[in-house]
Amino acid sequence: MRVDVIMPQMGESIAEGTLTRWLKKSGDKVARDEPIFEISTDKVDAEIPSPAAGTLAEIKVQEGQTVPINTVVAQIETEAGAVAAAGKTAPPARAEATPAPAPARQAAATSTSPGDGKERSARPAPAPPSPVYAAPPAGAWNVPKAAALIGTGATVEDLRRVRSSPVVRKIAQEHNIDISRIPGTGVSGRVTKNDILKTIERGGLERGATATAPGASRAPAPVFAPGERVTVVPMSAMRRKIAEHMVMSRRTSAHVTTVFEVDMSRVMKLRAEHQQAFPERHGVKLTPTPFMVKAAVEALKAFPDLNAAIDGDTIVFKKDINIGIAVALDWGLIVPVVKHADDLSLSGIAKTVTDLAERARSKRLTPDEVQGGTFTITNPGSFGSLFGTPIINQPQVAILGVGAIQKRVVVVDDAIAIRPMVYLALSFDQRLIDGAVADQFVAHIQATLQEGKFTEIV
Amino acid sequence: MALTTYVEAIKQGIWEEMERDERVFILGEDVGVYGGAFKVTEGMLDRFGEMRVIDTPISESAIVGAAIGAALMGMRPIAEMQFIDFISCAFDQITNFAAKNRYRWGAGVPMVIRGPSGGGVHGGPYHSQNPEMYFVHTPGLKVVAPATAYDAKGLIKAAIRDEDPVIYLEHKYLYRRIKEEIPKEDYIVPIGQAAVRREGRDLTILTYGAMLYQALEAAETLAREQGIQTEVVDLRSLLPLDKDAILKAAKKTGKVLVVHEDTRTGGIAGEIAAIINEEVFEYLDGPVLRVTAPDTPVPYSPPLEDFFLPNKEKILKAARQLAAY
């Protein structure tokens, strides 16, 4: 009997996945739960285990193809008896799907991609970046007049303009668009689905009197000339997602970067002291990263503005401190999140970071583990960079870039000394955070690190 | 090829099923010698004889009760209500017996109860009603309401072949007003499947029965005068509802108007709005609106009945509101 292998749903808002690689060939024997193919979705890359033991009978979806969730990608010929069990383990068929809000202009513009150009041009826009907070309050746009007016002072017309409709709010959130800035053609000037789709099609909202935001959606000049020697390959789901998210972030936030220099002598000394015992006790190496995370957590506690998000005209202060750690991969970049980092000890942070990074590299992260970050740390120093000016991971309001730790000649007490130094570059959203606050925040991190205020290490 | 009227299509469907299957028979008031109040059964007595075309006393409870008994004994009865308004006389037989039999004793009741429903012919409060929701609310029944001659024939055949009780609602306003070419070959229209009658992207109208034509005319006007493209879906079956088709059409346009001739409170529009709200809320770009008859009996006075019934103008007004929302 044959068991269907389906494209699994890797997250609530994910409607499709790209089958990046078959780990088994047609005719291969597979064990139950043995990885048989790799997928790439808007959120994560993952290896997908076989739902049953048997022989990979038929491959229906080829490498590189993008298909909706629950599409049958292959069939496994099982030995009798394995069937019942296999059926049960198949992920439940969830009918949840995201709409196709944006006619994917960018995809159409690159339809010279070999093979799947057509398919891509019909794709919906990638899934939304994580919302500012998980469950926005239910819309009041269709409540009876009297109910709408009680207490709020807002009229039904006001509510219609701000709240719009479920579909418009959903699209707005996915594309991080402020509905109130779109001229609506609906009743009371309400922004309709058509209005917002047209706005996205045009490349987003215009910023003041300057040109439209440099969205990825416009291709003013051909990227390569006819006859030019090029190779054209389709973007991976991850690459498309990063591209969209980065441009969106640039459009959204008023980025400013401030750079501090930190003397890491105490930290390096602490690290040296515990380099032997720490792995024996905790099973992971002691790197400078957990010190950075810990110092950032302490600073976030002192400056909650940095652990916040902007939602329309309101500021959302996050009570949890969840630190995203950018992990470079051979095929891109992913930001797994250390949840409740403020509840973790230094060793707890070290273990969590190591585990997340390892699983990121082996494609075993769950969608939940890359969501919910409230602040991000990126580490360009691991490749030798002194400092960078990182782009904020929306909807967060700041990101800390850690440069390479290098021994440098510095002046200490009017004497020339050699110290391990590092540049910390904080990019922050000046819509919410003033320069003074940002600098005090980094100074707080600096003090923690320089003074080596890490009471418990082992 | 000749055009077939809606009423003729029903007759053809019954006739062909009686030819095909000798277990099929019809019973009701004046269905034999007189040929039925609306001539659905005309000529059947001569062709099939009085054992299969049975004139009954004026007792809907008896008609339905006899039909249930015959169905349990292996027959395929078609019970005609001379006017569907009087189906309420057989309410207990239908809801407490026919509908529950399969669940209670594992014995299905393959029976069709059919009759003329709906207003627009100045029939007054006892000859114009739309009683579908009493039965849509009763698990164990199926309820269908064809709007075209093709569906009238295809659905009566599907209803006769169904293993469970089916309430088949004919719209008397459509009997001789609707004509179309229908295939000579045997076909059925599966119960539980809606049909898209007009494609559109701006707004969806869900409706059934005689209101389909009002909705299509309104859609035509909207397209011509304002360029509003309206999707019109004919539900055809009310129980089971074609949820997939409803949700698909709702997601497509994000704006839904439900139109029915039945009265407002407890009408199928409320149920449909609830389904859409529960399942595709995030796709909505406006409130789900209803155009229905008001909550009163059907008036006898022709001007009052005109006021009472939903029509193209009322649909246009609601559709324009929704399109502009």
pLDDT (tens digit per residue) in B28-45:
999 999 999 999 999 999
Residue with tokens 């790197």: A287
pLDDT over 90 (residue A217): no
Top-ranked range on mean pLDDT: pick from A11-15, A346-350, B78-82: B78-82
Pairing of β A375-378 and β A327-329:
unpaired
Provide the Cα torsion A7, A11, A13, A19; round to 10°. -30
Q: For residue range A88-98, what is the model confidence (pLDDT) as tens digits?
A: 444 443 333 33
Separation of alpha carbons B58 and A219, rounded Å? 78
Candidate list B127, B137, B171, B260, residue with the active-site label: B127
CB neighbours of A269 closer than 8 A, spacing ≥ 6? A452
- Nearest residue to A162 via CA among A198, A126, A125, A189: A189
CB neighbours of A11 closer than 8 A, spacing ≥ 6? A41, A42, A43, A44, A127, A367, A368, A371
Q: B251 to chain A: nearest residue by CA?
A: A99
Question: Encoding tokens for residue A443?
Answer: 């100074």
Separation of alpha carbons A381 and A403, rounded Å? 4
Lowest model confidence (mean pLDDT) among A53-67, A87-101, A150-164, B12-26: A87-101
Separation of alpha carbons B239 and B135, rounded Å? 8
CB neighbours of A268 closer than 8 A, spacing ≥ 6? A288, A405, A420
Q: Which chain A residues have a beta carbon less than 8 Å from that of B228?
A: none
Q: For residue range B63-73, what is the model confidence (pLDDT) as tens digits?
A: 999 999 999 99
DSSP 8-state assignment for residue A385: -
pLDDT over 90 (residue A291): yes
Separation of alpha carbons A337 and B248, rounded Å? 37
Residue A153, pLDDT score: 57
Buried-state track B150-181, b at ≥16 Cβ within 10 A, e below 16: bbbbbbbbbbbbbebbbbbbbbbbbbeebbee
Q: Collapse the DSSP code of A52 into the 3-class scheme (helix H, G, I; strand E, B; otherwise coil) and give the result.
A: coil
Q: For residue range A399-420, what is the model confidence (pLDDT) as tens digits?
A: 999 999 999 999 999 999 999 9
Q: For residue range B2-13, what is the model confidence (pLDDT) as tens digits?
A: 899 999 999 999
The verdict on whether B127 is a catalytic residue reads: yes
Cβ pair A166:B251 closer than 8 A: no
Lowest model confidence (mean pLDDT) among A67-81, A429-443, B186-200, B304-318: A67-81
- Report the run of H or E that residue A421 belongs to, with start and end: strand A415-429
SS3 labels along chain B: CCCEEHHHHHHHHHHHHHHHCCCEEEEECCCCCCCCCCCCCCCHHHHHCCCCEEECCCCHHHHHHHHHHHHHCCCEEEEECCCHHHHHHHHHHHHHHHCCHHHHHCCCCCCEEEEEECCCCCCCCCCCCCCHHHHHCCCCCEEECCCCHHHHHHHHHHHHHCCCCEEEEEECCCCCCCEECCCCCCCCCCCCCCEEEECCCCEEEEECCCHHHHHHHHHHHHHHHHCCCEEEEECCEEECCCHHHHHHHHHHHCCEEEEEEEECCCCHHHHHHHHHHHHHHHHCCCCCEEEEECCCCCCCCHHHHHHHCCCHHHHHHHHHHHHHC
If you count residue pairs, one on A and one on B, with CB atoms under 8 Å apart, how many are there?
Answer: 31
Cβ pair B282:A170 closer than 8 A: yes
Cβ pair B324:A186 closer than 8 A: yes
Q: Which chain B residues have a beta carbon less than 8 Å from that of A167?
A: 254, 282-285
CA distances (Å), B293 to each of A208, B112, B288, in order? Answer: 51, 27, 17
Q: Which amino acid is at A91?
A: P
Instruction: Report helix angle A288-302 to A435-451, nearest 10.
Output: 130
Q: Which chain A residues have a beta carbon less than 8 Å from that of B229?
A: none
Cβ pair A166:B283 closer than 8 A: yes
Q: B254 to chain A: nearest residue by CA?
A: A167
Q: For residue range B51-65, what is the model confidence (pLDDT) as tens digits?
A: 999 999 999 999 999
pLDDT over 80 (residue A85): no
Residue A313, pLDDT score: 86
pLDDT over 50 (residue A83): no
Q: For residue range B203-218, what is the model confidence (pLDDT) as tens digits?
A: 999 999 999 999 999 9
Cβ pair A190:B281 closer than 8 A: no
Comparing CB atoms, the residue among B281, B321, B324 nearest residue A166 is B281
Separation of alpha carbons A183 and A196, rounded Å? 9
- B58's torsion region: left (phi>0), alpha (psi -120 to 50) or beta? beta
pLDDT over 80 (residue A117): no
DSSP 8-state assignment for residue A45: E
- State the nearest Cα–Cα gap between B164 and chain A, in angstroms: 30
- Nearest residue to B278 via CA among B247, B255, B245, B242: B247
Strands (E), A173-313: 255-263, 308-311
Question: Encoding tokens for residue B304?
Answer: 């009052």
